[in-house]
Amino acid sequence: MRKIIIFICILSLFLVIIYPTNAQAQSIDDIVTGADEFLEKGGGQAGVSTTIDDQILGDTSDFLYNVLLGLGMIIAVVVGMILGIKYMMATSEDKAEIKQTLPAYIVACVVVFGAFAIWRLVVYIIQ
């Protein structure tokens, strides 16, 4: 398992270094202008809308946010319950091993729910 993780990390690093990009800092207005220009290029087709509907975009973002947050909560609760049940049923040596996994569990919960807080904050600032 460790070899697979190391391989994926090395492959990701290789792709990031080798893949040519034109990444540069842009403002939100530049990004929206570029998106509008992109849509205008494809607007010659019949029935193709060339504007971005803010309501649909917001609804999609809210739906995705709620689904992923719910999934993250369910996974966090299930993993917490499993760790709790294992802790109650374990011997003293096994309890020590379970206590070693608790900091990783807490950090994972903070990262997951912190990411959702940042997502909500960014969406609120953009609006």
Q: Is residue 89 part of a domain?
A: yes
Q: How far apart are CA 50 and CA 96, in angstroms?
A: 60
Helices 54-89 and 92-126, packing angle to 10 deg: 170
Would you call 47 helix, strand, or coil by DSSP?
coil
pTM above 0.85, yes or no: no
Q: Is residue 12 part of a domain?
A: no
Identify the residue whose tokens are 């719910």: 70
Q: Is residue 42 part of a domain?
A: no
Q: Is residue 16 part of a domain?
A: no
Domains in the chain: how many in total? Answer: 1
Q: Is residue 68 part of a domain?
A: yes
58-112 pLDDT, tens digit per residue, is 788 888 888 888 898 999 999 999 999 999 998 888 898 889 989 999 999 999 8
Q: Is residue 94 part of a domain?
A: yes
Write down the pLDDT at residue 78: 94
23-72 pLDDT, tens digit per residue, is 555 677 777 888 788 777 766 565 656 566 777 877 888 888 888 888 98
What are the backbone angles phi and psi of residue 76, rounded to the nearest 5°? -65, -40
Amino acid at 122: V
Residue 91 domain boundaries: 53-127
The residue-averaged pLDDT of 3-15 equals 81
Q: Is residue 119 part of a domain?
A: yes
CA quadruple 77, 80, 82, 85: dihedral, nearest 10: -120
Q: Is residue 81 part of a domain?
A: yes
CA proximity to 35, closest of 43, 45, 23:
43
Amino acid at 110: V
